[in-house]
Structure 1
Amino acid sequence: MKSLRLQKFLAHAGLGSRRDMDNLIVAGGVKVNGKIAIAGQRISKDDIVTINNKKIKSSVWTSIPRVWIYNKPEGEIVSRNDPAGRKTSFDNLPKIKIGKWVSVGRLDFNTSGLLIFTTSGELANNLMHPRFNVQREYMVRTNDVLNDEELGSLKSGMYLVDGIGRFQSISFQRGGGNNVWYKVITLEGRNRFVRRMFEAINYQVTRLVRVRMGIINLPKTLSKGKGIELEKTEILKIKKIISE
């Protein structure tokens, strides 16, 4: 790769979508080699890109980005830093010299399970973008058994404050009383979506674990608070799926 468009470089660095970066460039917020960049500009590996006088680094010049699979425990936030001093998932990521880790979505404070981090902002954005229909699979513990009407409502659609939501599928797994487990599959990445869906039918989610996102599964042998790096062959499979 000898050159590429500036907005792709910035998106890959995890600063936002390509459209966001286009808007930033048009607004005059980006400089290349000390000069204000223009829309559609191409850059090479030797060019210096800055925003607010800060040099932007990206691993885009390497052909394959890194992808880290992490088993998030409950009681941990997904943020680079927290004013309240709480533990963050970013604290447990390996250090990198070029670029930065970008989280593929988030899990709330009380949700555990699969978190994906990558050095490619573009890959992260594509995995989250609705047009690629990336499934999210969760194990959900709730306080009672749902009846057929309630199960049907969750699949046909529920009115939430930010629009209609629905599960692709929901199936009983095990348990009884106030310890009932369901498997839920959804395309949604909205904040607290699974919890809010159950709340809409007056059920409480007492535990929530994400176990899969797209073709990436949470390894059963991966302990909470630990992570592993995907092999290049696995990363290429992911890139192929979300580019089709």
Structure 2
Amino acid sequence: MDALDDLDLRVSGCRACPRLVDWREEVARTKRAAFADQTYWGRPVPGFGPPDARLLIIGLAPAAHGGNRTGRMFTGDRSGDVLYQALYDVGLASQPTSVAADDGLELYGVRVTAPVHCAPPENKPTPGERETCRPWLVQELRLLRPTVRAVVVLGAFGWQATLPALAEAGWRVPRPRPAFGHGVRVGIDRSEGSVGGGGPAGLDLFGCFHVSQRNTFTGKLTPAMLREVLSTAARAAGLGK
């Protein structure tokens, strides 16, 4: 087991936030009628993708009947349908759909994670829950330091979690901290002499509207807009077409 696998295993056993534990487990018991015959994951959902990823995508939190059901980020819900279709379109995924953890989907040089690993009520984790979960994101970033060269953050909530996590993981985040916006691109410099022997390489940080149903149904985020951010980030990371 490599270090990232070990981290994922520890994430999946976390019970630090009582409200989130109660909610995710209640959803797993009661289920949605369409999935009544399925066994829900009902635990924190770890990141997904190769340990040498050059591009990291950071979302919000698992969906109650998506990742909380399937056990894999953005899998089994409409937000995931949009994200993985776009990743497939730009050459970063092996297939355009993501319906189950064993469906054969592979990501090419990309890892997907979230600042909150448990499904929250109404898809709204609290800032305090985000802070409680942040050490997991910091550890994930530290493990990806040798290879990651670009980060795409889906939404303002994730952006607010990612900037301090990058700083804690050893990157030099600009001050004042850059504001979130769709299409924003920020160069994050390497930090000198950070913990672990030498600073990480610099990276490019990209903002993108979240792939929520609200954004995609209203046209605030279109497939073309998402593909543009992902393809630009992939080029920055040395990936893609």
* Larger strand fraction of residues: 1
TM-score (norm 1): 0.22
* Larger helix fraction of residues: 2
TM-score (norm 2): 0.22
